[in-house]
Amino acid sequence: MRRDLFSLFKRERWCESKRSSFQELVMGLASSMGQVRPIFVRPMRPKFRQGPNSPGRGVLKSHTHHRKGPACFRSLDFGERNGYLKGVVTEIIHDPGRGASLARVSFRHTFRYKKQKELFFTAEACKLATLYTAARRPPSLHP
């Protein structure tokens, strides 16, 4: 009996007022059959899917799925505050939706045995295995 009521509820489309009365009917039938626990009916799905121009999502939304990552400077650590760090350009990659290409530069970690990989904007003359200097001041000003 209970399965028939649930299949009927899934097949039919009920509005909010009918759904609450139907739920009361199901609860009454369940209690009359000797079942104590309440029966919870799943809410209905939305009737339509929101398209790209609907109010939920703007037309000018950027497509960021294939982006490689944020291009930014290194965090200013002890090595950069008091001197400079040398890194090597390991790969030059194209980031979709961006005009400039990106360089993945790997630096030696200052106090652990590992490499730190960062993304930077590239200059036009940048090639693979080019040395990259990261410092607070330009490297010519260092003693």
Annotate 35-72 with DSSP letters as a single string.
--S--PPPPPPPSS---TTSTTS-TT----TT------
Kindly report the backbone phi and psi dihedral angles of residue 18, in degrees, each rounded to the nearest multiple of 5, phi listed first. -70, -35
Q: What pLDDT, on a 0 to 100 scale, did the predictor assign at position 124?
A: 86
Q: How do residues 60-77 score in pLDDT, each as one tens digit? A: 777 888 999 999 988 888
Average pLDDT, the chain: 75
Q: How do residues 77-120 score in pLDDT, each as one tens digit? A: 888 888 889 999 999 999 998 889 999 999 999 889 999 999 99
Q: Please say whether the beta carbons of 44 and 10 come within 8 A.
A: no
Question: If you compute the radius of gyration of the chain from its CA atoms, what whole number of angstroms results?
Answer: 31
Q: What pLDDT, on a 0 to 100 scale, did the predictor assign at position 26?
A: 59
Residue 136 has pLDDT above 80, yes or no: yes
Q: What pLDDT, on a 0 to 100 scale, did the predictor assign at position 108?
A: 94
Residue 9 has pLDDT above 60, yes or no: no
Q: How do residues 15-38 score in pLDDT, each as one tens digit? A: 444 555 666 665 565 555 555 555
Q: Please say whether the beta carbons of 87 and 106 come within 8 A.
A: yes
Residue 58 has pLDDT above 60, yes or no: yes
Domains assigned to the chain: 2-32 (no CATH), 78-141 (2.40.50)
User: Smallest Cα–Cα separation from 14: which of 42, 37, 35, 39?
Assistant: 42
